[in-house]
Amino acid sequence: MKAAKAAHEAAIHEENIPDNKYDTLSLEASYVAQGQANRAQEIKRALQAYRGLSLQPFDASAEIRLTALVTLEGDDGALKTVFIGPQEGGLKLLLDGEEVLVITPSSPMGRELIGKSLGDTVEIGSASYEIVDLY
């Protein structure tokens, strides 16, 4: 929010008023201000979505859905843990020292995982993963 406010103030500052029709500093500053304001609103909506999120318990027979924490094992044996959240896919978090990638149900990986269960295999791009843990 502070960055958006600072960018807005820069856009309207008297030093940024164009000297001629080719001076675009003010216009560029206004684009930055608008972009930062938009991103601040997106983050605000995401925070509201996560605050209202009800975490569900998952057992070995459960199907994957929103709020699942899923561990996948690739063909090479590497483990990858993902959290299926309502927004902000791509965000990386640390949980007990392990990296967790936030994905959404509408992402390619999310679409493949929703409805699957422990032991199922999913194809994501050219990679194949087995679902080895579900929380």
Do the beta carbons of residue 70 and residue 124 sit within 8 Å?
Answer: no
Place of tokens 């020292």: 97
Q: Is residue 2 over pLDDT 80?
A: no
In tens, the pLDDT along 112-132 reads 999 999 999 999 989 999 999
The pTM is what?
0.74
Amino acid 30: pLDDT: 78
The region of weakest confidence among 5-14, 35-44, 116-125 is 5-14
Q: Is residue 21 over pLDDT 90?
A: no
pLDDT, the chain, mean? 86
CA gap 19, 98 in Å, rounded: 53
Q: Is residue 13 over pLDDT 80?
A: no
**In CATH terms, is domain 69-134 a member of 3.10.50.30?**
yes
Q: 119-125 — which CB contacts under 8 Å span 24+ positions?
A: 122/72
Domain range list for the chain? 2-51, 69-134
